[in-house]
Amino acid sequence: MATFRTVGTEFRHESDKVKGSRFLATLVPVDSEAAVEAALKRVRAEFANATHNCWAWRLGRDAERFRYSDDGEPSGSAGRPILQQIDGQDLTNTLVVVTRFYGGTKLGVGGLVRAYGGCAGEALDRAELTTVRILRRIEIRFAYELSNAVQAVLAAADHELVDSDYGAEVVMRLDAPEESADALVTELRERTAGRIEATIEPAPE
């Protein structure tokens, strides 16, 4: 079954202070780089008085895209440890921002790695994580006399009806599990002797 794991809802967690510094993690489910940028802009605005807003994200159904930022902290001390926590939970379509309010004592690179990674890890351990089933949108068009044949196929298929239009012909849009979408379209064509038009939207990124 084609699935991926992500953060179910936006979540926030503040860890214990580290030598006076506060660390606050914000977890955001995202599905595009535009969504990432919007979330980052919102968090930065909310914590404009923070010393640093360090972050990491991973995107894509195959988790192939990622970025991270130390936001002025020493290189490798913040963004990468946050990303490692995302990867440790096998997540994608997830943004984690860890906000720091400096407490007056420097932590050193090792201390920062532990603080940023630890705050992100604590937040992910407490957050609602969810497994998302990957669906494909299918549009089918057919004459009214084919309705019984189409409904017979759909009655035995795993799908979710999105909407339908009944005009000069019937137009239905439905979501089916990615792994069975092609087989469903093939079955519809076979049962209607090729008299149905069916298209599957391209796979999401």
Better-scored residue on pLDDT, 61 or 91: 91
Mean pLDDT, range 54-58, rounded to an integer: 98
Q: Is residue 50 part of a domain?
A: yes
Cα 167 to Cα 156: distance, rounded to the nearest angstrom:
25
For 134-183, the pLDDT digits (tens) are 899 999 999 999 999 999 999 999 999 999 999 999 999 999 998 899 99
Residues 124 and 51 in one domain: yes
**Whether residue 32 sits in one domain with residue 15:** yes
Domain boundary among 131, 153, 176: 131
Same domain? For 94 and 150 the reply is no
Q: Is residue 119 domain-shared with residue 145, that is, in the same domain?
A: no
Residues 56, 111 within the same domain: yes
Are 162 and 103 members of one domain? no
Indicate whether 74 and 115 sit together in one domain. Answer: yes
Identify the CATH number of the domain in which residue 65 sits: 3.30.230.30
Q: Which residues pair with 14 in a beta bridge?
A: 24
Question: Domain limits at 34?
Answer: 3-131
Same domain, 157 and 79: no
Q: Residue 24 in contact with residue 39, Cβ under 8 Å?
A: no
Task: Give tens-digit pLDDT for 15-32.
Answer: 999 999 999 999 999 999
d(CA 59, CA 86): 11
CA distances from 11 to 37, 100, 122, 151 (A): 17, 17, 11, 42
Question: Which residues, in sequence order, are CB contacts of 92 under 8 Å at separation 6+?
Answer: 4, 5, 6, 58, 59, 60, 61, 62, 63
CATH number, domain of 171, equals 3.30.70.240
Provide the domain count of the chain: 2
| Confidence band for 202, pLDDT divided at 50, 70 and 90 | confident
* 178 φ/ψ angles, rounded to the nearest 5 degrees: -55, -40
* Same-domain status, 106 and 147: no
At 61 the pLDDT is 82
Whether 205 maps to a domain, the answer reads no
Q: Are residues 12 and 38 in the same domain?
A: yes
Examine the pLDDT at 126 and tell me if it is beyond 80. yes
- Do 144 and 105 reside in the same domain of the chain? no
pLDDT digits (tens, 9 = 90+) for 81-106: 999 999 999 999 999 999 999 999 99
Structure tokens that stand for 163 in this block: 């909407």
Mean pLDDT of the chain: 94
Q: Is the pLDDT of residue 2 over 90?
A: no
Range list of β-strands (E), 30-126:
52-59, 65-69, 94-101
Indicate the residue among 115, 131, 147 that finishes a domain: 131
Domain stop point among 92, 107, 131: 131
My answer on whether 118 and 152 are in the same domain is: no
Residue 102 lies in a domain: yes
